[in-house]
């Protein structure tokens, strides 16, 4: 089968179409013909050997897919050949076929495209875990979302509103601000591009504080990191919760005296580990996401679809932090 392969560490330009052995469904497994694969920031990191795990090469990046069941292994009764499914995988989404444990897949709802279905699970499951389990979000709270126009950022805006929060989205351009307003944010703030000197950092902190109001934000959702982190932390209120989601702008160093002065928490969000340790809780979250999706209260915003041969270009767009919403690669016809 064809796959977009990483053979050596490097950027998206190092990826090339090649061949991998066709997977075979074992007991309790199915093989899925991949139709669409959504791109996420871990795809940037893993091909550069900067991710938490380093798979043996050659490998295909891509962590969330939608497709059609092509082969059913022994003991599988839930799925049949031809069923439309969606699922997450650590690696391999940018290949024509993938093997899955049968109970790790979800049915694509009627009327949903493969492109939209491929773009739901990772970003929204990460975000519902962040806001509910790590953030303990409550109706009426004030939520600041950094990088609000990206996949997880828009998910945080939508879920924040679904949970009754007042949501302030922060982005780096007016074009991105329009997408965040369309997702339902109560307010949108456009910030400058980092790096920041001390005066610029203070100015951004003052803007965040003004948007937060007298009592500060209850929650900060940060999938960006870098020089944006400290100004956001300074805008937290008493016993606020700062959710650490990702670092495309760099790993920040936070002044921990602020956590003492505000009695606030800095909380890490590692959805993959949570899902592995607490599969039942994760399934309950995903069921809730499907309900919200069906009600139209959340909806993945696929803004660009790339052909399989240009999968590297999609990852390059993600690496440049130019993506608004979700970028998807169409793998199969």
pLDDT of residue 20: 95
Q: Which comes out higher in pLDDT, residue 321 or 11?
A: 11
Using CA atoms, how far apart are residues 258 and 264, in angstroms rounded to an integer? 8
User: How would you class 32 by CB atoms within 10 Å of its CB: exposed for 0-12, middle for 13-18, buried for 19 or more?
Assistant: buried
Does pLDDT of 333 surpass 80?
no
Average pLDDT taken over every residue of the chain: 96
| Top-level class of domain 2-120+300-330 | alpha beta
Class of 123-272 in CATH:
alpha beta
> Same fold for the domain at 2-120+300-330 and the one at 123-272?
no
Report the distance separating Cα 69 and Cα 292, nearest Å: 25
pTM exceeds 0.85, yes or no: yes
Q: What are the residue ranges spanned by the domains of the chain?
A: 2-120+300-330, 123-272
pLDDT digits (tens, 9 = 90+) for 231-288: 999 999 999 999 999 998 899 999 999 999 999 999 999 999 999 999 999 999 999 9
The pLDDT > 70 percentage for the chain reads: 100
User: CA nearest 182: which of 165, 202, 158?
Assistant: 158
Find, among 164, 168, 169, 170, the residue nearest to 141 by Cα.
164
| pLDDT at site 19 | 95
Average pLDDT estimate for 190-208: 95
Q: Which two tokens stand for residue 134?
A: 């790590």
Query: CB atoms < 10 A from the CB of 129, how many?
Result: 22
């Amino acid at each position: 089968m064809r796959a977009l392969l990483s053979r050596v560490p490097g950027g998206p330009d190092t990826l090339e179409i090649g061949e991998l052995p066709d997977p075979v469904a074992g007991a309790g497994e199915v093989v899925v013909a991949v139709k669409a694969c959504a791109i996420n920031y871990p795809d940037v990191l893993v091909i550069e050997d900067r991710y938490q795990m380093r798979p043996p090469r050659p490998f295909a990046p891509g962590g969330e897919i939608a497709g059609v069941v092509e082969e059913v292994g022994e003991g599988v009764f839930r799925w049949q050949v031809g069923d439309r499914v969606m699922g997450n995988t650590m690696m391999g989404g940018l290949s024509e076929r993938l093997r899955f444990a049968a109970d790790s897949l979800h049915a694509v709802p009627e009327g949903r495209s493969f492109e939209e279905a491929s773009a739901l699970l990772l970003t929204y499951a990460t975000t519902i875990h962040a806001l509910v389990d790590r953030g303990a979000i409550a109706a009426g709270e004030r939520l600041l979302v950094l990088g609000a126009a990206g996949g997880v950022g828009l998910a945080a805006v939508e879920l924040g509103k679904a949970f009754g929060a007042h949501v302030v989205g922060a982005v780096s351009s007016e074009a991105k601000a329009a997408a965040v307003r369309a997702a339902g944010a109560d307010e949108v703030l456009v910030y400058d591009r980092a790096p920041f000197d001390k005066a610029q950092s203070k100015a951004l902190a003052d803007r965040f504080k003004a948007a937060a109001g007298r009592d500060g934000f209850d929650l900060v959702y940060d999938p960006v990191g870098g020089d944006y982190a400290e100004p956001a932390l300074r805008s937290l209120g008493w016993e606020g919760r700062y959710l650490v989601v990702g670092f495309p702008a760099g790993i920040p160093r936070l002044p921990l005296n602020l956590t003492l002065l505000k009695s606030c928490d800095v909380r890490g969000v590692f959805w993959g580990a949570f899902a592995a340790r607490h599969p039942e809780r994760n399934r309950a979250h995903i069921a809730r996401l499907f309900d919200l999706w069906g009600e139209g209260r959340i909806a993945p915003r696929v803004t660009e679809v790339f052909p399989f041969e240009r999968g590297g270009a999609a990852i390059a767009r993600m690496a440049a932090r130019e993506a608004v919403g979700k970028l998807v690669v169409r793998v199969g016809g």
